[in-house]
Amino acid sequence: MMPMLNVSIVIYKHHFGEMESLIRSLQAAEIIEKIYIIDNSPVPSCDFKQEGLTYIFTGKNIGYGAAHNIALRKTIVAGLPYHLVVNPDITMDANILKEMVDYLENNKDIGHLMPKILYPTGETQYLCKLIPTPLDLIFRRFLPERWTAKSMNRFEMRNSGYDKIMDVPYLSGCFMLLRTEALNKAGLFDERFFLYPEDIDLTRRIGAYYRTVFYPLVSVVHHHAKSSYKSFYMMIVHIWNLKKYFNKWGWIFDKQRKKINQQLIKLFNL
């Protein structure tokens, strides 16, 4: 089968052994042209300089979105129809990519597809979300879970069941299968964001032209670290970038957010 996509993985102080399972799975997928390893670490690593991988050392931590954009631009120039943005902490079966690409080939109105994301225990990660309000993210970060359970269940669309194909306005950046044509229309990652809200922003912009869809017929495992919950510095980075996001889209007045969220709340009885 002809190659249909490139893949990019952004790393920071990662070792090959931590990602070997993911890389081997990707290498087994016949529809992949190139696997880009974009390294934002302080010093380069020789671990990734091997056959089948295209290693790019940036020389500094330029951020998640800016690093992925290096590979996304190469995919656009190469004329490949799809690109996979994937986190280094994902493990997966090689066969799922062909199924997902086949689904995109049969549904030309979809610009962004995400599979079901599982914890290593097999439990579902609730990564299909409404477009966040400032309160959604403040409650989630700083208030006890027992106080916020109802609002978080709605924000994470839990009443949808996570068992059906559905349009979702905010899909996680840990696994983004993107249509190159959609990127040409919506633009790449906004490089003003250093970390965290890039996936919200890009999903919204793609959603202006194409459907952004959750596809639970296949799944991957995400070894989620939640670094902003463990590091004070990362928490500050998180808050600073969310401030940039709401400055861009609106803190209180965001008509698009209100319209889309109300439609989904009604549709799924959230």
* The pLDDT of residue 95: 94
Nearest to 223 by CA among 139, 120, 129, 125: 120
Query: What is the per-residue DSSP string for 75-139?
Result: HHHHT-SEEEEE-TTEE--TTHHHHHHHHHHH-TTEEEEEEEEE-TTSPBP--EEPPPPHHHHHH
Tens-level pLDDT at each residue, the chain (270 residues): 677 999 999 999 888 888 999 999 999 999 999 999 999 999 998 888 777 899 999 999 999 999 999 999 999 999 999 999 999 999 999 999 999 999 999 999 999 999 999 999 999 999 999 999 988 876 666 666 666 678 889 999 999 999 999 999 999 999 999 999 999 999 999 999 877 789 999 999 999 999 999 999 999 999 976 544 456 677 787 788 788 888 898 898 899 999 999 999 999 998
Q: Is the dihedral of CA 161, 163, 169, 173 positive or negative?
A: positive
Q: What is the DSSP letter of 158?
A: G
Residue 120 CB-density burial (10 A; 0-12 exposed, 13-18 middle, 19+ buried): exposed
* The pLDDT of residue 142: 63
* The pLDDT of residue 19: 92
Residue 63's domain comprises: 5-268
* The pLDDT of residue 151: 84
* The pLDDT of residue 229: 47
Alpha-carbon distance values, 110 to 60, 102, 106, 118, 136 (Å): 34, 12, 9, 23, 27
Backbone angles phi, psi at 239, to 5 degrees: -65, -45
* The pLDDT of residue 228: 43
* The pLDDT of residue 157: 96
Number of domains forming the structure of the chain: 1
CATH code: domain of residue 224? 3.90.550.10
* The pLDDT of residue 240: 80
Dihedral (Cα; 2, 110, 213, 190), 10-degree rounding: 90
Q: What is the β-pairing status of strands 32-39 and 53-57?
A: parallel
Task: Give the whole-angstrom CA distance, residue 74 versus residue 69.
Answer: 9
